[in-house]
Amino acid sequence: MTFKKALPALLTTVALTMGGAAFADGIGASLLTQQHPFYIELADAMKAEAKAKGVALEVSIANQDLNKQLADVEDFIVKGVDVIVISPVDSQGVAAAIAKADAAGIKVVTVDVPAAEAKVTSHIGTDNYTGGVKAGELMAEVLGGKGKVAIIDYPTVQSVVARVEGFKKALESHPEIEIVAQQTGITRAEALAVSQNMLQANPEITGIFGFGDDAALAAAVAVKSAGLEDQVRVIGFDGMEEARNAVDTNPVMVGVIQQFPQEMGKTAIDTAVDVIAGKEVPAEQPIVPGVYTRK
Amino acid sequence: MTQTTDNTPRAGRQQLVVALHQYGGILVSLVLLCVIFTLLNERFMTVANLTNILQQVAVVAIAAFGMTWVILLGEIDLSIGSIIAVAGMAGAQALAFGVGFVPALLFTLAAGALMGLINGVLTAKLALPSFIVTVATMGIYRGFVSLPTNGAPAMISDASWTAIGSDRLAGIPIIIWIVGVLFIFNHVLLSRTTFGRRTYLTGGNREAALYSGIKVDRLKIAIFTLSGVMAAISGILLSSRLYSAQTNAGMSYELDAIAAAVLGGTSLAGGVGTMVGTLIGALIIGVMNNGMNMLSVPYFYQLIVKGLVILVAVWLDVRAKRRQG
């Protein structure tokens, strides 16, 4: 390393010609956010697995800003990591970051949110469609095969779209269940307002499906404040601790589809390690979610 | 607008002294940051990485040029983050409509100019504080972004549009050329023309400007329009870097732009500031973001350090200026 300090000009030339030679070996991970329990568990699982496998792992947080994610990936490329793991801020816009990694010859693994327009080495994610179907089946079972259902969605996120599609698909075989409202509620505050509005507009609603824990927990609060605890049942998706506790204690929350961020994070790191070792990895690695109901 | 040139004969050395006097404090901060990052990470001071920083800082730097004009007048424009997003979406929609690259570009710039014009007219003609006007338009413009796609991002596949953010011209990324040209444009407009002098005068002392016959309202409208156009250019670069128009694009970038201008010595009271200073300020923000990434500083610590560095840099600058007096 000393000769580099003595010859910075040479270093610059080397860097220029090699474009991104490997100084820092290992995995660079660019995650969507660190303000959501799912991503905290995912990041913790990745760090634990990286430690267990003895591979260097650096984590950047995009804070839901695609431009920051692109900058984070650019910085990984300059650093010369071997593999980049991305949980995309936006399934389509992430194409720019993947193209840059491709151009630098660095393989990309996506986790949780898939890339829509770009090809990656492997994708590890919850089978959201199957999860949505399970939510729909649970809803039909809870409502005894008939009723009016509302959905809180987040239409710009592909994984949520798949959940809602699966949910609707499952309800198709129950003709006496009618979907009367579908509104967007991304944050818990928005979801609360949306649930209240939907209950106001359709007082005969008997079931609400929230695309995520936040949406479902907000819906449960709205049901309570409307005094409809005996009438409305809520099902969520994600299955973090808070929602599981709610399912255990709050009769309105009848169930939650449970994702497995630990398994996802572990699989992502194992896949990245295999990629570094030059092994073949499957292009799709779906993680089927479970159904969590009161014990 | 009359084009006048500064004909005062100045020795190069004298100019250097003036420059050091003006930018000494802030330059010290920039150099210090670069030295620290170079010592801590061997990959920091490489052409590849410096190019990276310039590309990453472009969007904020250009918005900050526009913001500098507005702050020089003693006003503020909080809507530029939203204008950045609207511009990207306007471009994406025009391209999707099939108008072609150049018309889409012109349409986007016109949209930026219109949004700036609205800010300017509301501020000048209704005599409302620009803080309130642009808080309101920030929300209004942000709402408009989501209308065409119902909140979903719009993909951009036009090769010319995406080339702006990813291609090179004479070995240098196009995006860096654009920043350079816009820097020179704004710098010359501010320091070498009557338009620039009127801006300084009005921001420094509004009453005196009115008495000396400057049409303050018209100047205000022109400057808010200019700020809108700069933000639109930022939006074009951002959408071309991201191959898409994101509805949450540019969120809170107005704060980065204000930080860049103030780091560069622009006074929020108006009348004091330069484009050179703003460019250095933007570079400090870019170097910090990139340098801490290179050192793998955890994200939440990055936020803390960034805030502290801004405080220290502004303090160093203010102190240096006070001493040199």
pTM of the shown model = 0.78
Substitution target from A30, A40, A66 for chain B, most B beta carbons within 10 A? A66
Residue bearing tokens 């008495």: B211
ipTM over 0.90: no
Q: Is the pLDDT of residue A237 over 50?
A: yes
- How many CA within 13 A on the CB side of residue A168? 14
- How many angstroms separate the Cα of A97 from the Cα of each of A10, B262, B297? 29, 31, 21
Q: Assess whether A201 and A243 both reside in one domain.
A: yes
Residue numbers in B near A63 (CB within 8 A): 299
Domain ranges of chain B: 28-34+42-324
Encoding tokens for residue A226?
């409307």
CATH number assigned to the domain covering B28-34+42-324: 1.10.3470
Q: In Å, how far is A34's CA from the nearest CA of chain B?
A: 9
Residues 6+ apart with CB under 8 A from B287: B30, B33, B34, B37, B53
Q: Assess whether A90 and A149 both reside in one domain.
A: no
Q: How far is it, in rounded angstroms, from Cα B132 to Cα B138?
A: 10
CB contact under 8 Å between A72 and B293, yes or no, is yes
How many domains, chain A? 2
Q: Which residue of B has its CA nearest to A118?
A: B243
Q: Is the pLDDT of residue A4 over 80?
A: no
- How many CA within 13 A on the CB side of residue B14? 4
* Cα torsion angle, B107, B109, B110, B116, sign: positive
Q: How far is it, in rounded angstroms, from Cα A137 to Cα B246?
A: 35
Q: Assess whether A99 and A168 both reside in one domain.
A: no
Q: Assess whether A53 and A133 both reside in one domain.
A: no
pLDDT computed for residue A92 by the predictor: 84
Substitution target from B62, B234, B293 for chain A, most A beta carbons within 10 A? B293
| A271 residue type, one letter | T
- Evaluate whether A97 touches A128 at the Cβ level (below 8 Å): no
Q: In Å, how far is B94's CA from the nearest CA of chain A?
A: 18
- The pLDDT-based confidence of A23 (bands split at 50, 70, 90) is very low
- The mean pLDDT of A53-82, rounded to a whole number, is 93
Q: How far is it, in rounded angstroms, from Cα A216 to Cα A255?
A: 10
- The pLDDT-based confidence of B75 (bands split at 50, 70, 90) is very high
Q: Which residues pair with A256 in a beta bridge?
A: A236, A292
| B129 residue type, one letter | P
Q: Where are the beta strands (DSSP E) in A71-206?
A: 83-86, 107-111, 122-126, 147-153, 177-184
- The pLDDT-based confidence of A24 (bands split at 50, 70, 90) is low
Residue numbers in B near A65 (CB within 8 A): 248, 251
Q: Assess whether A93 and A169 both reside in one domain.
A: no
Which residues form the domain of A220? 128-258
Residue pairs between chains A and B whose CB atoms are closer than 8 Å:
101
- Evaluate whether A70 touches A97 at the Cβ level (below 8 Å): yes
Residue bearing tokens 């390690």: A273
